[in-house]
Structure 1
Amino acid sequence: MDVDLALEATVDFWTRWGSHCRDEGTYGGAVKRSLLVLRALTHHETGGIVAAPTTSLPEDFGGPRNWDYRFCWLRDAALTLEVMLTHGYETEALQWRNWLLRALAGDPEDLQIMYGVGGERDLSERELLHLPGYEESRPVRIGNEAVSQFQADVVGEVMVALERLRLAGGKEDNFSWALQRTLLGFVEKHFDEKDFGLWEMRGEPQYFTHSRVMMWAAFDCGIRAVRQYGLPGDVELWEALRHRLREEVMAKGFDPNLNSFTQTYGGGQTDASLLVLPQVGFIAYNDQHMLGTVARLEDELLTDGDLLLRYRTESGLDGLEPGEHPFLACSFWLAEQYARTGRRADAQMLMDKLIGFANELGLLSEEYDAKEMRMAGNYPQAFSHLALVRAADAMHGVARLSLAVQTGDQRDPDSAGHG
């Protein structure tokens, strides 16, 4: 290799790629840096997007919450695709869709929540007991046990992302729409099953409210593909299942005594993942059910440093020892919620704080230890950067690429209509 030529070619590639991203607005520079990070987490040959390039950087220093994130979570990648599309990077979105088609080829019952960058399926977890870990944080892990979990939300994230691609002008072919129908068939078959949720709990499976809403979102996207794009599918069945999920979530996932959605059906705990409900159109950002939920999140999950925890680990629901630092994506979700409901001063204060945590390269990890003023967890983290872009877009008044923007939100009566 001629190092000088290689360096010149590398700089040229990234300069050209970044030049397509406008850095306008208060947080334009952070948005551009985050999009560059997300592109750098994308494998140049396969299009697979890894959650982070590291393993076992601890979420709780000295504790066991050390995971391997060097894989392609369907959820994280789908959310990355959404923000890429919002900023005009359709080529990367198509590359990821092609990766998805290859990775998911075969029996739909073999669907996994995550794969290797080349579509590898065997990601079994091992503990490397001979290694001391980062600052004595044991165990060091390679592979991830979550690969075998049923996480009911994942198909919803994928369907939402692929709908965004369709709205951006990406053409469905026989393979891509067939895949989406297969994914909806998977949700149908596992409709009544409990799952391990967005946060990959290692306790007992539950009916997580976020998961059930994402199942609703999966059918919601499928219905529009049939009704508005003329694609084939069992739309009457999907509409019935979507309606059933809406009724179920409002009856079992919302506690009127607490005036809040809850982490699980019938449970009293709250969860930052509930901030996703308006993001997928299940409910309006300013709906009273949602505003009550936000008030409870602020009351129960905000730390002294005004950062949002995922949930209270003391509940024991995740099957691990209590203790972790605030998950940065959750605080960005809260900033987005503030911005979308007119709480601009609160949104700006939180955004300034979060972006201030980035290092001199503009990179963010998974979590932040406000007491020690240091990053925690794997790094750099796709989830943190894609949530930053979403929140900044809300602050800048950028419309999400959604049906509401494209058609004036002419959904059928059973759909929430607040995308």
Structure 2
Amino acid sequence: MQDHPLIADHGLIGDLRTAALIATDGTLDWFCAPRFDSPSVFGALLDPVRGGRLATHPATAGYTAKQLYLPDTAVLITRFMTEAGVGEVVDFMPIDGHHDRHRLVRLVRCVRGEMTFSVRVAPRFDYAREPFETHLAEDGVVFQGARSVLTVRLIREPGDARAATGVDGEGDVHAELRLRAGEARGLLLETGAAGPVSAVPVAEALRLFDETVDFWESWLGRCTYAGRWREMVNRSAITLKLMTYAPTGALIAAPTAALPEQIGGERNWDYRYTWVRDASFSVYSLLSLGFTDEALALGRWLRDRVDEQDGKDGGGPLQIMYRVDGSSDLTEEILPHWSGYRGSAPVRIGNGAAGQLQLDIYGEAMDSLYVAGRHGLAPGHQGWLAIRDLADWVAANWSQPEEGIWETRGGRQNFTYGRLMCWVALDRALRMAAEHGRPAPLETWRRERDALYTEIMTRGWSTARQAFRQHYDTEVLDSSLLRMPTVGFITPADPMWASTLRAMEKELVTDSLVYRYDPAASPDGLRGSEGTFSLCTFAYVSALAAAGELDRARLTFEKMLTYANHLGLFSEEIGLTGEQLGNFPQAFTHLALIDAAVTLDRELDRHPRAAARRHTVVAAR
């Protein structure tokens, strides 16, 4: 089996409808079209033999490769250094607004000396389940399947000689590009209906490059963040934008599927969908950076999901996740013919957790709508009716056992975090009704909110552990509860919270990295273990900062930034030796990074002596 690039050895490009992952060796090994959640065109990330790839690299061995983003953009540059010269592969996707047409430009250029590039185009439609035919033309090639088509057009100068190409027994196309310093050629890949295969002049490719750069620089220019970690926050903002489906405003959890939480394990999920939880968190994060249009679009997406559900059969008015167009069919299936990332099978597409009951999503959704309202995005009449219906449902149904935030598959429990966020849902509904003078059953909501508070403080508290616990029938700790002071349920100075934080640090924190919970102590219905959860680490930073422990918060944040990849991107988890695990890049992680940076900036500005104090490295926990 061929070696996989590491999960972290990738950059992300996209056109706000779909995205592609490109490894540091110039291999495009993950691309789905026409949408994030569509079947794959290239999938070598999950099977290097059967998955398909677009490979471009020096034809000679012994090269060194480096990768960077053009500053303040989503244009990815992979640089190759050899004894004969230096070359670059520049990848980007123009933002043109077409729903069905997606263009990926790969400019190949020599910047010093001379270089011959080897090119291989090997698509595998529908997760390598759809056969295709290869049709060579003078100016490119068409890969035609029964339902899919990929057109590859050459980027070249008028008068160039016919490119030397060949087709192998798999239908893959091989070619070589010989370039001298200052020359640029390349490929333009286009999905959708097949058309005439005409060459793309280099000048046209450069025009698309300029337009794409202008788009990203203009978009990022709206960011209002001016804090201490601007580069990392800006990269996180661009990454979140890349994972936003423009037609609906939906934010996917990650552009990948089935990347493992443990190498060789079974915790391999499809994250190419929009979670109500992630979308809700992102409203707050985007507003904190000044991106009101994106926050408003997500708020509308959330309201549409509430409007279209009826809450029958005890399932709740919201499903926990949806496709990017708002549809709810996420049937999970396994691809038995794919080996998985580094042998991590099964490879799953679709997500069977979509039908779970997770009560926390109602608090996160309501909190985001409340925050949006305080930023001038208050709901209209129909929006308020939808919010009122949601709060009514929470008031009547919060006492149900549920699956919890981590989508465990070990059965329903009375999760403390779910109860906490139901408290948030009713608390924010009460606040919105009062602040905007909206009609509502205030006494019912207030009664149920206060009952939730009492229950959490009694049944959610473990006297033995002197800490809030994962659910009522366990002594296990859960780092989701790091958000208790953030949502205003408890003050950071409360002795019960200080005791909980110390207990979490003793059990869930390792060298500043934070586990979600201990699977060995809290069976979740799945085999194997997992790494530390990057969202929780950034939440820990925010909790420390809110508690006034600014030195520790800042050091933890800075240490966490060292686990980013070479481009500033994070996956879902960090493994024992510091490797990135899980789907990549992970929206939740980048949202939490933004929130931690904003929180730290605010607290450091309030305490300038702490901000100016020289920090010392403390012993690892």
TM-score, length basis structure 2: 0.62
1:55 aligns with 2:246: no
Deviation by residue 1:220-262 (Cα, 9 ceiling, x = unmatched): 0000111221012111100000000000000100123321101
Question: Which one of 516, 532, 554 corresponds to residue 310 of structure 1?
Answer: 516
The alpha carbon displacement at 1:74 in A equals 0.4
Match of 1:221 in 2: 428
List alignment gaps of at least 5 residues for structure 2. 1-102, 104-203, 312-316, 605-621
The 1-side partners of 2:554 and 2:435 are apart by 38
The alpha carbon displacement at 1:171 in A equals 2.9
Match of 2:354 in 1: 147
The alpha carbon displacement at 1:178 in A equals 1.7
Question: Which one of 463, 471, 475 corresponds to residue 268 of structure 1?
Answer: 475
Partner AA of 1:72 in structure 2: T
Number of residue pairs matched by the alignment? 397
Report matched runs for 1:116-127 at 5 Å: 116-127=323-334
- Percent of counterpart pairs with the same letter? 38
8 Å contact from structure 1 (residues 253, 266) kept in 2: no
Match of 1:194 in 2: 401
The 2-side partners of 1:103 and 1:220 are apart by 21
The 1-side partners of 2:494 and 2:305 are apart by 38
More strand by share: 2
Bigger radius of gyration among the two: 2
1:391 aligns with 2:593: no
Partner AA of 1:226 in structure 2: A
Question: Which one of 243, 248, 262 corresponds to residue 41 of structure 1?
Answer: 243
Deviation by residue 1:327-386 (Cα, 9 ceiling, x = unmatched): 001111111111111211211211111111111211110001141x31100011011011
The 2-side partners of 1:256 and 1:308 are apart by 23
1:89 aligns with 2:291: yes
Match of 2:337 in 1: 130
The 1-side partners of 2:570 and 2:478 are apart by 22
SS at match of 2:389: helix
Match of 2:585 in 1: 380
8 Å contact from structure 2 (residues 508, 514) kept in 1: yes
Deviation by residue 1:68-122 (Cα, 9 ceiling, x = unmatched): 0000000011101111111211111111122223334333315201101101110
1:326 aligns with 2:532: yes
Report matched runs for 1:11-410 at 5 Å: 11-22=213-224, 24-109=226-311, 111-303=318-510, 305-371=511-577, 373-397=578-602
Partner AA of 2:285 in structure 1: V
The 1-side partners of 2:391 and 2:384 are apart by 11
Match of 2:174 in 1: none
The 1-side partners of 2:327 and 2:318 are apart by 12
The alpha carbon displacement at 1:392 in A equals 0.9
Partner AA of 2:596 in structure 1: A
The alpha carbon displacement at 1:33 in A equals 1.3
Greater RCO (CA < 8 Å, at least 6 residues apart):
1
SS at match of 1:248: helix
The 1-side partners of 2:282 and 2:426 are apart by 21
Deviation by residue 1:157-177 (Cα, 9 ceiling, x = unmatched): 000000000000113112221
The 2-side partners of 1:258 and 1:99 are apart by 41
Match of 2:6 in 1: none
List alignment gaps of at least 5 residues for structure 1. 400-419
SS at match of 1:240: helix
Match of 1:404 in 2: none
SS at match of 2:404: coil
8 Å contact from structure 2 (residues 367, 425) kept in 1: yes
8 Å contact from structure 1 (residues 81, 93) kept in 2: yes
SS at match of 1:278: coil
Partner AA of 2:438 in structure 1: L
SS at match of 1:285: coil
Match of 2:62 in 1: none
The alpha carbon displacement at 1:316 in A equals 4.3
137-146 or 85-94, which deviates more: 85-94
8 Å contact from structure 2 (residues 285, 595) kept in 1: yes
The 2-side partners of 1:130 and 1:328 are apart by 31
The 2-side partners of 1:316 and 1:254 are apart by 17
Partner AA of 1:200 in structure 2: E
The alpha carbon displacement at 1:132 in A equals 0.3
SS at match of 2:244: coil
8 Å contact from structure 1 (residues 253, 262) kept in 2: yes
8 Å contact from structure 1 (residues 314, 322) kept in 2: no
349-358 or 171-180, which deviates more: 171-180
251-260 or 239-248, which deviates more: 251-260
265-274 or 214-223, which deviates more: 265-274
Does the C-alpha gap of structure 1 residues 306 and 171 become closer, same or farther in structure 2, counting only changes over 3 Å? closer
The 2-side partners of 1:336 and 1:191 are apart by 27
CA RMSD of aligned residues (A): 1.5
Deviation by residue 1:386-407 (Cα, 9 ceiling, x = unmatched): 11111111210179xxxxxxxx
Partner AA of 2:430 in structure 1: I
Does the C-alpha gap of structure 1 residues 144 and 153 become closer, same or farther in structure 2, counting only changes over 3 Å? same
Does the C-alpha gap of structure 1 residues 103 and 5 become closer, same or farther in structure 2, counting only changes over 3 Å? farther
SS at match of 2:532: coil
8 Å contact from structure 2 (residues 512, 559) kept in 1: no
TM-score, length basis structure 1: 0.92
95-104 or 375-384, which deviates more: 95-104
